[in-house]
Amino acid sequence: MAVVTKFVVVREGVEKMTFTSKKEADAYDKMLDIADNLTPFLAESELDIDEVTCEKLSFYLAQHKDLLLSLLKGVVPQQTETTEIKKKTKKADPKNVDTKK
């Protein structure tokens, strides 16, 4: 019999994701916090986007925060960075993403 330690990220009593390391779980939880903070920021903008799209956009920006920070600093991303993001984005299933606390 094996003993396996799992770290579960829970929001409002709902399990969001399970990890095998605390570091990964903490990073995911922090990313969800960032997405939660971005949602009202985007909702207050002059953009005419619905709530679901706003949450998806917040989640996307939070997932790619390092590249976003570089872009905001005026650094042009390398071609490999943008290619990797496109690959990761296609693999993600936005239908199962819930960024609410």
In whole angstroms, give the CA distance from residue 21 to residue 9.
11
In whole angstroms, give the CA distance from residue 73 to residue 33.
22
pLDDT at 66 over 70: yes
Provide the pLDDT for residue 90.
Answer: 58
Cα–Cα distances in Å, from 75 out to 36, 43, 60, 61, 88?
26, 27, 19, 17, 21
**Chain segment 7-40, per-residue pLDDT in tens:** 999 988 899 999 999 999 999 999 999 999 999 9
Instruction: Give which of 95, 91, 98, 90 is closest to 62, Cα–Cα.
Output: 98
- What is the amino acid identity at position 98? D
